Every structure is written in structure tokens, then in C-alpha cells.
Amino acid sequence: MTQKRFPLFFILLFSIAFSSQAQQKSYIQSLDDPNHWVDSVLHKLKKRDKIAQLFFVRAHTNKGQAFEDSVGRVIRKERIGGLIFFQGGPARQAILTNKYQELARTPLLIASDGEWGLGMRLDSTISYPYQMALGAIQNKELIYKMGLEVAKDYKRIGMQMNLAPDADINNNPKNPIINYRSFGENKYNVAEKAGAYMKGMQDGGLLVTLKHFPGHGDTDVDSHYDLPQLNFTKARLDSLEIYPFKELIKEGAAGVMVAHMNIPSLDNTPNLPSTLSKPIVTDLLKGELGFKGLVVTDAMEMKGVVKNFKDGEADLMAVIAGNDILEVSENSKRAIKLVRSAVRDGRISMERIDESVRKILLAKYWTGVYKRDTINTQHVGAEVNRAESLALLQQLADASMTVLNGNGGIKALAQEKRTAVISIGTPGVTVFQRELGSFYKNSVFFSLDKNANANAIAKVVKELGMFDQVIIGIHDTRLRPGNGMELSGDLRMLIRDMAGKNAVFAFFANPYNLAGLPGIENAKSLVVAYQKEDYMQKAAAEVIENVKAASGKLPVTVSSFFKFNSGF
């Protein structure tokens, strides 16, 4: 029996058709395609229900039954477009999401802030390194893989959108709100790393939201509490702050979040937040930059937006400005009513509303939530704490390790010598100490809490004469590693003195805090490990042991001694 042979042309044609079907179009690529489901839902929705699709309300699983029920009533009565989940747990959220989706006439789009993964909001889940640490990593493929893992986690518990990554350039060391949430101070580094994270999430089927447009990095005011002002020229903003947004929009970002900032060079209306500015949202973001995706406001309950625009006026102005999704209105019922009235008065056209609703419905189609699949609520905890995710977590930590000083590497320490391992800033024995203790067998641990006084320090120093080598870990134990790390004046003097005596240092804190430790620049070896977590302590210990090499580069300038891109 002879086999039929297909001409090469047909084989190539078949393989091209197969691969194009296998690879889903991106959300942005799908915007111009005809879509029967989107069109049929849009046609059936009443005017009021179309307006309601623009509003996403707050949800929690740690506020009790009464709060959960109140959100359910809002879903049923107001017919809103989606939810933003905040604190709680993954299994509880999956169960509650099933309940909420059953109440919704049109499937809900579910989102949350996950700059460092589910752990940013939920207990019992993985927190990946903060973006400041990721900014130090030279292998962006690792960050792409992180994006894929985060997408799996989000989809596993029924979420379709991550309000991340943060694409702000942190070029103000005193920034109280962005800071360690940024990939750093260099626009190219920020665009590259944010782009890798974004692509990983989107390739994993998750919608992303770049934030905080047009750039929140050079502010010294937290927009949760007041309205920051950016007094820069449009040319400066375009060349610096806007650069990562511009580049990632070209690369297909599905969403952009607009910040609450007053920017006179872009809109000179007094006290007007950028979220409420048509010249910024419509003319600049959609017009000049050509962004076609979902425009999302920062939370509409923040003081930066409602301080000067009260009683729902901010919500109405945000819609007029051109935003598609209004995140966490103070009162969504009132806001929907105000927008509906503005449509009747001709201040907003239904065509403008339809434009946003179509994008929201397409997001529901693209992510598959339109199918109304029930989330499997069994084994949720285990399935968002996968072995491969934990392995990647350690890889990211290892790749972020940054050695400053050290003449090309870490000062070599002899494994058999008497070794003192001191933890500064925390009273108990640390993972860092235990890791080193298993390697340097002839070692002794000392601990000095952040408030240690001269007497406590003198007792430790007195014993150091018995040791051949000293390793010091400096720990910031706060939940969020911002500026203003607390250490007593006596501890700072100890650090200065030991830096001149060949001690090896590891710094488990935001690198900006190095500027508050005069003399540490004299240390022969200093490993910057960015944050307090166990995986960072393990990574730093292995660098000091010369088990692993440090390849990280400092993503920000700390002082004249420690500048951007420093690292061996």
C-alpha cells in the first residue's frame, strides 16, 4: 500500500493555520475584531446597566459576613462591571467569587493589586520580591517566568486582571508611596523589567494594568492622603516619566492606570487630578500615545482625588475625562446616577459610554470569564503554592544579590576559622545566621535589636576579640521596606566602626537606607539583599560562602559612593 504525499505547500499552510489558532491573539489585537458575544451583550444592556459596567467595587474576605453580603447586594442591584479584591485568603476568595459571579447578570471582571503576586493582598500565598529587588536582576527571563506564575495564580482563584506592574521611575529617593515598588530610577531598566513582567502575565492569559500614568516616581506626597503636584515641563515628562508607558503601550499593554496627580504642564486647571483630566486621559494617553486598551483610574476613594471634588463629582469627571474603569468609588450607586443624569443632559454621549463598555466586555471575553465556569474550590492553597513557583522565588532572590565594594567579589572567608555572625535590627536568631552557621562550623551568633544601647553593644564587641572573622546582617523587620529604617545611634556607630575592620556585611533593607549609615562605604564587602524575607537571607548567605556568585546591579543611586548600576 503506497502512502499519499502532501505537497510541501499544503503542509506549511496547515502548520501556519494550526499555530495561529493555538496562539491566542492579545487583548489589544482583539479590539478591532468582530465579536458576537460582546455585541449581543452590549445590545441587550440598558443605558443604566451600561454605565454600571464602568464601576468596580471593593471586596474582601476578611471583613466578615455583613461586609460580604453588602457587596453581594451591590452586585445584584447595581449590576456593576467588576470587583477589586483586597485582603483575605485564596480559598475564601475562590468560594466568594463563585457566589458573586452567580449573582451577576453579566459576568464580573475580577482584579486585585499584585505587584509582587497574590501575597500583596492575600495570606497563605507567595510574595515574590518587590520590584526594587527585581530591578537589580540582569536576566529578565526570570521576571518573565514570574509573570507566567502570577498569571496561573490569579486564574486559579478566578481573577482576570492584575493591577500591575508598576512602571513608575523612582527618581526621587524620598518618594513615600512608590519607592521599593519601582524597578528603579533608570527609564530603560524600568521599561525592560516592567515589560518582561507584563509579557509573562499577558502570555499567561492575564490582563495587566501599567501604573501610575503619567508617572508617580518623582513625588514626595502620598496620593492616598493628599494631591501630589508634578511641576515639570511636558518635554521632561515625555522624555522621562512617560517613557516606560510609551514603550510598553507599543508592546501591547492591555491596561493603564491613571494616577491622582496635579500636573500643570499637561492641564493647568487648579487642583485637578490627572485622573479627572481630559487633556491627560483622552488627548495624551489615548490620542498622542495611541493607547487603545483599558484605562483604569487609581482608587476613587483616595484623598488625592476626592479632597477637592466631593459628593460624586470626581466619579463623573473621571468618566468625562475618558476612563473606562473606575476603581473603588466612594459610592457607586450615587456615581452611576450622576453619570446617567449627565448623559441625559448631553454632557456625555452614549457612544462614549459604549466605547468603554465594549472594551470591558471584550476583556471578559478574552479572559474567558464570559463562559461562567465555576472555580474549583478544592486544594486552592496547595495549587497557589506550587513547587516550581517556590523554586523560581529563590532563583529571583539569588539573581538580585548585589555586591558593593569587594574589589570584584566578596572578601574570601575561611570556612574553618572562628566566625562571629551578628544580626543587627532583630532580637532573635535569623535564617541568615543559621545558613551561615551550617557552613562556618566554628561560628557563634550574636543579636542586637534595633534599639540596642551602648551597654548591650559593648558586651558583644568585647567578645569579638576571640574571633578571626565577623559577618554582620543588618535587618529591617518592617512589613514594607521603605525609607527611615530604625536603628539606634549606637548601632550606627557600631556599623561604622566594623566597616573599617574588615567585617563582611549583608543588608536586608531598602538600599536607600544605606545613605543613613555613614562609614558603611568603607566595608570591604557589602551584599545588598533588598528585603527581610527568608529567601533573601538564604541567597545572601550563599554569596558570602562563595557557593553562588552575585550578579545584581543597584537599580537606584543611594549616594556618591553607591550609584545606579553598581555591583560586581
Q: What is the pTM of this model?
A: 0.94
Give the C-alpha separation, 379 to 382, whole Å: 6
What's the length of the chain? 568
pLDDT of residue 568: 85
On the 0-12 / 13-18 / 19+ scale of CB atoms within 10 A, 313 is middle
Instruction: State the Cα angle at 557 between 413 and 432, rounded to 5°.
Output: 35
Give the C-alpha separation, 117 to 129, whole Å: 9
3-state secondary structure of 376: coil
The H-or-E segment that residue 490 falls in is helix 489-499
pLDDT of residue 210: 98
Q: From start to end of 199-249, where are the E strands?
A: 207-208, 210-213
pLDDT of residue 24: 81
Produce one character per residue of 419-441: b if its CB has 16 or more CB atoms within 10 Å, e if not.
bbbbbbbbeeebbbbebbbebbe
For the chain, list the domains and their CATH numbers.
Answer: 26-388 (3.20.20.300), 401-544 (3.40.50.1700)
On the 0-12 / 13-18 / 19+ scale of CB atoms within 10 A, 556 is buried
Beta bridge partner(s), residue 424: 448, 474
Q: Which three cell numbers stand for residue 471?
A: 559577618
Q: From start to end of 161-297, where are the E strands?
A: 161-162, 207-208, 210-213, 255-258, 294-297
Q: From start to end of 81-236, where are the E strands?
A: 82-85, 109-112, 161-162, 207-208, 210-213
pLDDT of residue 407: 61
pLDDT of residue 406: 66
Strands in 402-404's sheet, in edge-to-edge order, are: 402-404, 525-528, 504-508, 469-475, 419-424, 443-448
DSSP string, 23-84: SPPPHHHHTTS--HHHHHHHHHS-HHHHHHTTEEEEE-SSS-HHHHHHHHHHHHHH--SEEE
* Residues of the chain below pLDDT 50: 1-22
pLDDT of residue 348: 97
pLDDT of residue 411: 82
Angle 534-544/387-400 helices, nearest 10 degrees?
50
- Give residue 384's identity as a one-letter amino acid code: V
Strands in 109-112's sheet, in edge-to-edge order, are: 207-208, 161-162, 109-112, 82-85, 55-59, 326-327
| CA dihedral for 344, 349, 351, 356, sign (positive or negative) | negative
